[in-house]
Amino acid sequence: MEYNGILPIFKEQGFTSHDVVAVVRKILSMKHVGHTGTLDPMATGVLPICLGNGTRIIEYLDLDTKVYHCRMKLGLLTDTLDVWGSILEEQAVPTISEERIREALNSFVGMVSQVPPLYSAIKVDGKRLYNYARAGEQVEIPERNVYVKEINLLGFDNDEIEFRVSCSKGTYIRSLCRDIAQALGTLGTMTFLCREETGSIKKEDCITLDELRQLSPEAIEKIIMAPEQVAVNLGEITLNQEKVFNFINGGKVGKANFRVNKEPEADRVAKIEGYKLPINEKMYSYLVYGEERLLGIGRINKEIGYLKGDKIWKFSIK
Cβ atoms of residues 143 and 175 within 8 Å: no
Active site residue 40: yes
Can you tell me the distance from the alpha carbon of 51 to that of 36, in angstroms, rounded to the nearest whole number? 11
- SS3 string, 112-129, reads EEECCCCCCCCEECCEEH
Contact at 8 Å (CB) between 59 and 173? Answer: no
Which candidate in 40, 62, 82, 267 is catalytic? 40
Residue 264: what are its φ and ψ, rounded to 5°? -60, 150
H-run or E-run covering 20: helix 17-28
| Other Cβ atoms closer than 10 A to 166 | 18
98-106 and 173-183 helices, crossing angle to 10°? 130
Amino acid making up residue 207: I
Shortest CA distance to 265 belongs to which of 279, 247, 284, 282?
284
Rounded CA-CA distance 224/77 in Å is 41
Which phi and psi angles does 140 have, rounded to 5°? -90, 120
Radius of gyration of the chain (CA): 21
* Burial (Cβ within 10 Å: 0-12, 13-18, ≥19) of residue 95: exposed
Q: Is the dihedral of CA 242, 246, 247, 253 positive or negative?
A: negative
CA 44, 64, 7: angle at the middle one, nearest 5?
Answer: 60
Residue 202: HSE in the Cβ half-sphere, 13 Å Cα cutoff: 1
**Residues annotated as catalytic (active site), given as ranges:** 40
